Amino acid sequence: MPQAEQDRSVFRAIADPTRRAILDRLRKGPAPVNELASAFAQSRPAISKHLRILRELNVVSERRQGRERVYQLEPAELKDVADWILPYRGFWQQSLGNLKSYLENE
Amino acid sequence: MPQAEQDRSVFRAIADPTRRAILDRLRKGPAPVNELASAFAQSRPAISKHLRILRELNVVSERRQGRERVYQLEPAELKDVADWILPYRGFWQQSLGNLKSYLENE
DNA sequence: ATAATATGTAACCGAATGGATACGCATTAT
DNA sequence: ATAATGCGTATCCATTCGGTTACATATTAT
């Protein structure tokens, strides 16, 4: 049987720590590739591949500016992650509440 | 050069859609493996492998009950995801705010 | 015109991923 | 005692992943 269709969701995009770091950097504002790549001990083409994945999943956008390509955060897709994690928040908030009442009853 | 050290964070755990679905199911309460597996068109050993990954990353716990293994959500580790996504929330909330004031000024 | 800079793509490689099937081992049912 | 059930593990396989080096292309500097 052929492998199940691959997951092309934003969850794959953020699965890699390098890509998460790129996104974290872009929160501070747009940046060209060289600046992004300078933060990592990887070759620049490796960063280009990460950027491509982020681009294809629409988590970043790119605009050409002279000979540079400036990347910008496009956080809309990340909302899927926030929406997914949302119902879990109740769990550890509840645990904190339990701890609180536990401590109060001691 | 040897591959960079692998990412064993919870972000890897939730990168796979099957594993996310398992976690979503466990939000409703603990369940034995057969019940979890019945929701997917995969073999049971495949689900066992997913469960092992979730176990090793401490996103679920397992207790033996007769010949069943009951899995339970352990959401503490998922807080890492919530914490990571948190600073991004401002972006689309801000966009919504911009839209709101834009509409109000029309 | 030529050189340097910025960046993407192609080809390649080893490791990890996600699946399958075959098997083993407890536990429960008969 | 034997069979059936529940589930993990071993092994295998194709695909994907994340990295590399070599190369191509566009833009800017000299």
Nucleotides of C under 7 A from a protein CB: 5-11, 14-22, 26-28
Tell which phi-psi region holds residue A71, choosing left (phi > 0), alpha (psi between -120 and 50) or beta.
beta
Put simply, whether A7 touches B (Cβ < 8 Å) is yes
User: Residue A106 pLDDT > 90, yes or no?
Assistant: no
What's the start-to-end Cα distance of chain A, in Å?
A: 58
pLDDT given at position A93: 73
* Residue boundaries of the structural domains of chain B: 10-80
**Residue A25 is which amino acid?**
R
pLDDT given at position B74: 97
pLDDT tens, position by position, A35-93: 999 999 999 999 999 999 999 999 999 999 999 999 999 999 999 999 999 999 988 77
Within 10 A of A92 (CB to CB), how many other CB atoms are there? 16
Task: Characterize the bridge pairing of strands B68-73 and B31-32.
Answer: antiparallel
Q: Give the pLDDT of chain B (106 residues) as one tens digit per residue.
A: 334 446 789 999 999 999 999 999 999 999 999 999 999 999 999 999 999 999 999 999 999 999 999 999 999 999 999 999 999 998 877 666 666 666 665 5
pLDDT given at position B2: 39
A83-92's contacts with Cβ under 8 Å and 24+ in sequence apart are A84/A11, A84/B14, A84/B20, A85/B78, A85/B81, A85/B82, A85/B85, A87/B27, A88/B23, A88/B27, A88/B75, A88/B78, A88/B82, A89/B82, A91/B27, A91/B73, A91/B75, A91/B78, A92/B75, A92/B76, A92/B78, A92/B79
| Residue B3 DSSP code | P
**Cα B17 vs. chain centroid, distance in angstroms?**
9
- Can you tell me the distance from the alpha carbon of B101 to that of B106, in angstroms, rounded to the nearest whole number? 9
> Looking at chain B, which residue has its C-alpha nearest residue A27?
B88
Using the structure, give the distance in angstroms from the CA atom of A101 to the C1' atom of C17, rounded to a whole number: 43
Nearest protein residue to nucleotide C9 (CA to C1' distance) is A45
Q: Which residue has the higher pLDDT, A103 or B91?
A: B91
Indicate the fold that domain B10-80 takes in CATH. Arc Repressor Mutant, subunit A (1.10.10)
User: Residue A94 pLDDT > 80, yes or no?
Assistant: no
Indicate the fold that domain A10-79 takes in CATH. Arc Repressor Mutant, subunit A (1.10.10)
pLDDT given at position B99: 62
pLDDT given at position A100: 62
pLDDT given at position A7: 75
